[in-house]
Amino acid sequence: MKRRPKELEGGSIILGELPRGCRLCAKGSKMVLFVTGLCESSCYYCPLSHEKAGKDMVYADEMLVSNDEDVLYELATIDAEGAGMSGGDPLCTLDKTVHFISLLKARAGKDFHLHLYTSKADARFDELEQLRKAGLDEIRFHPQGDDWSGIAHALSLGMTVGLEVPALPNGFKRIVKMAERAEAMGVAFLNLNELESSETNFEQLVSMGMRLNNLGGASIRGSSETAKQVIEWAKVNLRSLTVHYCSARFKDAVQLRNRLERRRNNVIRPFEEPDEEEPLLILGIIRAPHGQTLSEEHLSFLETKLATIFDVPSELMNVDITRNRIEIAHWILTEIAEDVKRLFTFHQAIEMGIAFEYPTSDRLQVLFEPLLFNHST
């Protein structure tokens, strides 16, 4: 019986059974563990940022990792059911990758699902055996050439094996050839990711004649069409290989959103309020005007006066030394802002407003609405 493709959220499509790693990603319950920026491949479409590319550093989601406890903290903040290990290429720092697999399995339990992405389709048997023994559940290869010996080794070890490649515009023939070979070997799935531009690959993509679908997004014209063409071919010509097209919109509107909502539920503080439409936190901010800073002594002074003069409870405000600001319940700040401005501007210039921020470790601010005052004050 001919298989039928199924449309998923965000324009993604599945032919076959969605891999477990992808199911957990869709829920937002997979932590992204960026193991290293080191990589032996040189894909012209690599979107990795200048800050990460070629550097041996670790990130758990958006958080720069200093030690194991950072990884475990991020795990808890999103109630993670699994982790996807990426880079760079995690096999470039095999010992570190094996360490993290062992750590996560030991702390989160054997049902905690771990998948890994690598471009080393020719990985050695002993390397893959170390990954399997440590507890890796699923490995995804991005083949760079015709040597698939590593894929064969992984299959012989009983690992769940998939391929994951970008759907390059006009790449239909190459992907079809790859899919036929993968099915013949017993590979479980083929993930086709919509090609996206970034600040690091945009110039190269444009030089090759590629263009954005629209100026409001990062997806490349023709990528989605290629993936859909492959799926139409696969439903007639393949019997067992799952083919999954993962759209850029799905990554942003579903996968990332769900993970941010899970994180927000665990990190929200008493003086913050969840936004009703987006996975954002809303809070009041007192800070120095752009280009200026407040000393720790001034921040402490402001905190004391807010408590003694305006009776702001300690649990409804916080001094953030790192970001050089006072954080306070926005409903309180709105009420007292004019009095605060009148009392404190003679000490040092300050500005106040309502901030909308993602609940990530870097607290990316997407909007700051200044509180405006009458000129008489």
In a domain, 30, yes or no: yes
In a domain, 298, yes or no: yes
pLDDT digits (tens, 9 = 90+) for 62-94: 999 999 999 999 999 999 999 999 999 999 999
- C-alpha–C-alpha distance, residues 285 and 303, integer Å: 12
* Pairwise pLDDT comparison (348 vs 283), residue with the higher score: 283
Contact 16, 1 (CB under 8 A): no
Judge if 136 and 197 occupy the same domain.
Answer: yes
Judge if 192 and 100 occupy the same domain.
Answer: yes
* Model confidence at 2: pLDDT above 90: no
In a domain, 1, yes or no: no
Structural domain range at position 231: 6-266
For residues 40-69, average pLDDT = 95
Contact 187, 238 (CB under 8 A): no
* Model confidence at 281: pLDDT above 80: yes
* Model confidence at 144: pLDDT above 70: yes
**What's the whole-number average pLDDT of the chain?**
94
In a domain, 375, yes or no: no
Judge if 83 and 186 occupy the same domain.
Answer: yes
What is the structure's pLDDT at 345? 63
The last residue of one of the domains, among 231, 266, 301, is 266
Across 144-153, 175-184, 216-225, least confident range: 216-225
Two structure tokens written together for 274: 């969840």
What is the structure's pLDDT at 347? 54
What is the structure's pLDDT at 230? 98
- Global confidence as pTM: 0.91
The last residue of one of the domains, among 230, 248, 266, is 266
Judge if 92 and 156 occupy the same domain.
Answer: yes
Judge if 229 and 294 occupy the same domain.
Answer: no
Q: Which residue, 226, 191, 137, 234, is CA-closest to 18?
A: 191
Beta strands 6-7 and 13-15, pairing class: antiparallel
Judge if 183 and 278 occupy the same domain.
Answer: no
In a domain, 376, yes or no: no
* Model confidence at 128: pLDDT above 90: yes
For residues 291-311, average pLDDT = 93
The percent of the chain in helix, strand and coil, each rounded to the nearest 5, is: 40, 25, 40
Judge if 346 and 297 occupy the same domain.
Answer: yes
Buried b (16+ CB within 10 A) or exposed e, 180-213: ebbbeeebbbbbbbbbbbeebbbeebeeeebebb
Contact 16, 189 (CB under 8 A): yes
For residues 212-223, average pLDDT = 89
Judge if 92 and 152 occupy the same domain.
Answer: yes
To the nearest whole percent, how much of the chain has pLDDT over 90? 91
* Model confidence at 377: pLDDT above 50: no
What is the structure's pLDDT at 261? 97
Judge if 211 and 104 occupy the same domain.
Answer: yes
DSSP label at residue 91? G
Distance of CA 198 to the CA centre of its chain: 14
What is the structure's pLDDT at 349? 81
Across 80-94, 257-271, 323-337, 346-360, least confident range: 346-360
Judge if 288 and 243 occupy the same domain.
Answer: no
256: domain CATH number?
3.20.20.70
- 285: confidence class by pLDDT, cuts 50, 70, 90: very high
Judge if 200 and 226 occupy the same domain.
Answer: yes
The last residue of one of the domains, among 250, 266, 282, is 266
Domain tally for the chain?
2
In a domain, 377, yes or no: no
* Model confidence at 310: pLDDT above 70: yes
3-class DSSP assignment, residue 275: coil
Judge if 242 and 330 occupy the same domain.
Answer: no
What is the structure's pLDDT at 214? 84
